[in-house]
Homo-oligomer: A and B are copies of this chain.
Amino acid sequence: MKGIRRLAQHLDISIGTVSRALNGRPDVNEETRRRVLEAAERLGYVANQSGRSLRQGTTNIIGFMMQTGTEITGQGDTFFMSVFDGVQAVFARHKLDLVALLCSSEEDPTDYLRRVVARGFADGLILSATRRHDPRIEFLAERNIPFVTLGRSLTDAGRPWLDLDFEGMAQIAIDRLVARGHRRIAVTRPHDDANLGYVFVDRCREALAAHGLPLEEELIFRSTPNETGGYQIARELLALKDRPTAALLVNETIAIGFYQGLSEAGVRPGRDIAVIGRYSPHAHFLSPPLTCFRLSLRDLGIALAETLLSTMPAFRDHYPQALVNAVWPMELVEGESDGFLVNGDESRG
């Protein structure tokens, strides 16, 4: 005898009553409930998930979909762990568990999602590494499966998403660099699938235009969002005839490679070139410390969770005013990598 039957037999009451007692139903005597809870605790009973979800069509599990292999996201070591932490802080209140759905780099993400959803694996989903055109969004929307994406795409109109405020970052950084005399500013962007690149570069262009400056094509650098990519960008940048005096790095992990690329050519950030990047745990330990944009990833995780739950009928009431579409602001952390003024129009030969 196993499961709830064992518990019921042990207490000499029916399994229906046991279930009602455990699930907090009102129509059960408080004394009985106490006995049930006590026995469940003592016997280590936990309801079987398959039986429960088969019956009620719900899993109490939320999936955070991500892809394995590190080349794709390029987000730093601690990025997801911090986001998870925030998500769980919210989920814990509702007895929801969070699992990371790991899509192999071999498999098409949409196929994977299809499989996961059809199996009835999770009640809701958080999608990361959103592509510019992402079929997953349409797929989930068609089936009325609760989800929220971390990252905008072109096809998410009316769908819940949160994103980092890359436009704000572009605006602030460009204004700051221009105010310090920079006229030729290099910007980076990841591969073409990532919407972030378009959003970021477009705003950089606008911000420069507001100062009457162009964004020349040769100053837009494309790379893999990892250390090696940063190194390559530095090499390409230094090879230009008319070198930029500043660089704005949109990815987290590329700064360290970028620094190294500069260093090998004897170019020092903060003295020979201004560098602004994204925060990561090592940003402060670079030489010189990186001026960068930081945000609370834990808070972002909390917001993601609240946004998702606000789209789910069972939890909607708890989060009436959750954000549905929002960019998450980043604050500028002053390092020493952008601390010099350009005197005049031509700064280098």
Q: Contact check: which of B77, B119, B253 meets A79 at CB < 8 Å?
A: B77
Contact indicator A281/B226 (Cβ below 8 Å): yes
Q: Which of A17-25, A84-92, A179-187, A239-247 touches B?
A: A84-92
The listed residue (B69, B88, B119, B231) touching A68 by CB distance below 8 A is B88
Partner of A70, one of B44, B78, B92, B107: B78
- State in angstroms the CA–CA spacing of A104 and B47 once bound together: 21
Q: Mark A259-276, 1 if CB is under 8 A from B, else 0.
A: 110010000000000000
Whether A227 lies near B282 (C-beta < 8 A) is: yes
Q: Is the CB of A77 within 8 A of B120?
A: no
- A100 lies within 8 A of chain B by Cβ: yes
Q: Are B70 and A81 in contact (CB under 8 A)?
A: yes
Q: Mark A82-106, 1 if CB is under 8 A from B, else 0.
A: 1011001100100001111110111
A347 within 8 A of B: no
Contact segment of A49-57, A168-176, A312-320: A49-57
Task: Check A115 for interface membership: any CB of B closer than 8 A.
Answer: yes
Measured CB to CB, the nearest residue on chain B to A252 is B77
For the complex of A and B, list the 4 residue pairs with the smallest distance between their C-beta atoms, beginning with the closest: A76-B77, A46-B118, A100-B100, A50-B54
- 14 new A-B contacts, CB < 8 A, other than A100-B102, A256-B282, are A44-B118, A46-B114, A46-B118, A50-B59, A63-B99, A69-B81, A69-B85, A85-B104, A89-B106, A99-B100, A227-B282, A253-B281, A257-B285, A260-B286
